[in-house]
Amino acid sequence: MDLEEYLRRYGGRRSRHTSSVKDTTRKHRIGVASGTPRAVFKVISKGSGNRSLSNLASYISDKNKKVIETESGTVSNEDELKELRDSWLKDFEHGRKTKRSIDFVHMVVSAPAGEDRDACERAAYRFIRTTFSDRRWMAVRHDNTDNPHVHIVVQNRNVENKPLPLKKSDLLDYRAVWAKSCQSERIDVISVSRVEAGVLRVAPKIEMVKMKEAGKSIYHEIAKEEDGYTVPTPILKGHITALVKNAADYVDESNASTPAQENERVILMKHAHYLMRQALSLAVTEAQKRTVFEAVKAQFSVKEAKTFAQETILQIT
């Protein structure tokens, strides 16, 4: 059984997390397979109260050294920042449901290294005004890394006291809008998930790092460590399944009806093979470290994973 037949037979159903603006066109998939950089949108933290807001405002403004952009203008000194912070706290008191309610959300958007920093900043403000036009926000451009990026802090509740949508599908939508904002500034990025891109090496959460540094054994019980990166074991099966499904999508898209499309077919199939190598790598690793029963639950048995890897994947590497 070759890769195409395997994926068409066992590709499975699609993920339940689907962005309303997800691009599934052939052009999009060719861009992914060709290595177009990913649009990066991240929710960094959620906070509440005066102390958290003050610390965050101090951080993003580099202790008042940077000008803060807001929905109503700029904040450039300590007095203006205090006035802004006090007005936000009043908004929090009005909209807060409980003492543990989320008051604000901290996020970051970034562009690939080497892209024009001014263009990234313009794209960021276009993204903010498109996405968060119904609520208050503050934002600051940072130039302390190779990747141009902008820190954004958004009030959780808008004037109608509705919370900011933060479901998985909402985050996918935000990333897609950020990608379009970048493209409008001629920044070549594409909205694609880690799984579709085959990027599974995820940096560990800070809580995990601190637990490990403290020598707490629970770190090893709830997380699987791979070369300094962490893949939580409960989502390992989901990673493998999603990789296979995305590989199946790329096989379906690779049908070439004209000679001109043959090059596209090669690119798409190469990415499908890459996704399967990633899936099988996870599956084989899981099989080696756990029982056969646990490996089967992770979608592949020991025999299936090793046989398919040897017969199909190793032939194309």
Whether 23 shows a pLDDT value over 90: the answer reads no
- CA nearest 139: which of 231, 83, 169, 126? 126
Average pLDDT score over residue span 175-188: 94
Q: Residue 314: which residues within 8 A CB-CB, separation 6 or more? A: none
Q: Which domains does the chain have, with CATH numbers?
A: 3-36+195-316 (no CATH), 40-184 (3.30.930.30)
User: Could you read off the pLDDT of 142-181 as tens digits, one per residue?
Assistant: 999 999 999 999 999 998 889 999 998 899 899 999 999 9
Whether 4 shows a pLDDT value over 60: the answer reads no
pLDDT of residue 126: 95
Distances (CA, A) of 274 to 196, 298, 315: 10, 19, 12
Percent of the chain's residues with pLDDT above 90: 37
Whether 18 shows a pLDDT value over 90: the answer reads no
Provide the pLDDT confidence category of residue 88 given band limits of 50, 70 and 90: very high
Beta strands in 183-235 (DSSP E): 224-226, 229-231
**Half-sphere exposure for 210 (CA within 13 Å, toward CB):** 3
DSSP 3-state assignment of 151?
Answer: strand
Whether 6 shows a pLDDT value over 50: the answer reads no
What is the spatial distance between Cα 278 and Cα 195, in angstroms, rounded to a whole number? 9
Q: Which is higher by pLDDT, 234 or 94?
A: 94
Taking the mean position of all CA atoms in its chain, how far away is CA 183?
Answer: 18
How does DSSP classify residue 98? S
Whether 183 shows a pLDDT value over 80: the answer reads yes
Q: Which residue has the tokens 């970051």?
A: 108
Give the torsion sign (CA, 47, 51, 56, 61): positive
- CA nearest 311: which of 82, 3, 53? 3
Give the torsion sign (CA, 30, 32, 35, 37): positive
Out of 44-48, 246-250, 256-260, 264-268, pick the least confident.
256-260
Provide the pLDDT confidence category of residue 14 given band limits of 50, 70 and 90: very low
- CA nearest 195: which of 242, 227, 161? 242
Whether 248 shows a pLDDT value over 60: the answer reads yes
